[in-house]
A = this chain, B = another copy of it.
Amino acid sequence: MSYTLELGKNAKAAEALIASAGTREKNNALAAISKALLANQDRIIAENAKDLEAAKANGMSEAKQDRLRLDADRIAGMAKGVDEIIMLGDPIGEVIDGFTRPNGLRIIKTRTSLGVIGIIYESRPNVTVDAAALCLKAGNVVILKGGKEAIHSNVCLGAIMREAVASVGLPADVIQVVEDTSRETTKELMRLNGYVDVIIPRGSAGLIQAVVQNSTVPVIETGAGNCHVYVDASADLDMAVEITDNAKTQRPSVCNAIESLLVHKDCAEKFLPMIAERFKKHDVKIYGCDKTIAILGSGIEKAGETEYATEFNDYIIAIKVVESLDEAIAHIRKYSTRHSECIVTSSLESAERFQREVDAAAVYVNASTRFTDGGEFGFGAEIGISTQKLHARGPMGLRELTTVKYLINGNGQIR
C-alpha cells in the first residue's frame, strides 16, 4: 500500500468518529492541543532549530528564515490561536433551512462536516496548527502537507497535536502530517479521490496553480489578489488618501492589499499630488499612465499591461487616470483577480453601480480593502480567502469547512 493511500485510509477510519463528536469533546481536544504546545515548547524549538540550520546551509533569505522561526512567543501565539477557536460557535448541526412539503414530508437542511481535508502549504509552521485546529472544530479530518523547509517543525507539531487528541479519547488520525515531502507524494495526495474530499492550497500563486492543474480532488483556490482602489470624481479626497494609503502600505505583502489605483480624470490633478506626497512616507514606487506622468512629473515610470497585471506584494503601485466609472469598471474586469475592490465616492449612483457590476468576493464603498479577512469579518480564524466562485468565496471560516445534509421525515410517503 502506498504511503499516501495509507494516510487516506487512516483519515477515512477517523472520519465518522470526529464527525459525530460533540462540541464539548472537540473543544476538549483543542484545549489539550493548546496546553501541549506550551508544555512542549523546548521540544518544538529543538526540532525547529534543525529546519533553521538546514535553511541557513541552503542559503535561505533572512526574511524567509524569520518566517520559519519558532520561539516561545510564537508558540504561545499558536496556543492562543487554538484557544480562540475553542471560543467560536460550532457550525455542525446548524439548521440552515426547513420546510414541510404538501405531502407532509418535513425537510430540514443541516450543516455537517466536510470529511477529509488536505491542506498543501509552504514554509510557515504556524499553518500546521491553525489549519488542524479549524478543521477539527468543524468535525473534519485533516492531512497536512507543508513545505520541505519546515518538515522537522511540522512533524513535531503534528506529533504533539496527535498525542493531545488521543489523550481526550479521539482518534489521533484526525490530524496527520505528511512526512514524505516529495513531489510524487504530493501529487498522489491530490489524486486520492474517495479518501480526500477537498484540497485547499495555501501559499504562492505558483503553488496554487500547480494544485489546480494536478488535482482530481476538488480544490478551493485561495489567495491571489490583484486589488484596486478607484477614486471617483465625487470622492472625499482626504478619505481617498487615507484609504488608498492604508490599502497599499499597511501591509503590502498580503493578498487584500491593493496593487493599482484608478483615478477619475476630474479629480486626478488635485488627488494625485496628495497621494504621491503620502506615498513618500513608505517610498512607494509609482508606475503611471501618460496622464499620471503629466501630473506627477518625470519621476514616474510608465505603466503598461504588465504593471496593471502584476501582484507586486510590495511598496509599488500602478496608477491610471480614467475617463469614467465605466472605464474603471472595465479596467477592473480585465485585470482583477476578483478578490477585493474598492470605490471611494460620494455618489450613490456610482456606489451602487460599482457594487453591482464589479465581480469580486468583496466590493467596498469608502473602506480599505484590507478588511477582507476572517477576523475582520467577525468569523474568527480563517483557513484562507477563496478567490473562486464555487463553495466558498471570500474569507473562509468554520462554516466554509462544512457541507450540508437533508434530513427528511415522513410517515410512509411514496411517489
**Chain A residues with a Cβ under 8 A of chain B:** 16, 19-20, 99, 101, 105, 107, 112, 114-115, 193, 197-198, 212-213, 216, 218-220, 236, 239, 242-243, 245-247, 250, 333, 351, 355-357, 359-368, 370-372, 376-378, 388-391, 393-394, 403-415
In contact, B391 and A391 (Cβ under 8 angstroms): yes
- Please give, as numbers and ranges, the residues of chain B lying within 8 Å of A107 by CB-CB distance: 377
With A389-B115, A390-B218, A391-B390 given, is the CB distance from A243 to B414 under 8 Å?
yes
B410–A366 CB distance below 8 A: yes
Are B246 and A415 in contact, CB atoms less than 8 angstroms apart? yes
Across the interface, name the chain B residue whose C-beta is closest to A214: B216
Known A212-B216, A216-B213, A391-B391; contact A361-B412, beta-carbon cutoff 8 A: no
List the B side residues contacting A243 at CB < 8 Å. Answer: 412, 414
Q: A242, B412: Cβ atoms under 8 Å?
A: yes
A414 close to B250 (CB less than 8 A): yes
- Taking CB atoms, residues of chain B closer than 8 Å to A99 are 378
Inter-chain CA distance A360–B112, complex, in Å, is: 10
Bound-state Cα–Cα, A236 to B239, Å: 70
How far is the CB of A5 from the nearest CB of chain B, in Å?
A: 17
Shortest CB–CB separation between residue A372 and chain B, in angstroms?
8
A411:B213 contact, CB within 8 angstroms:
no
**A407 and B355: CB pair below 8 A?**
yes
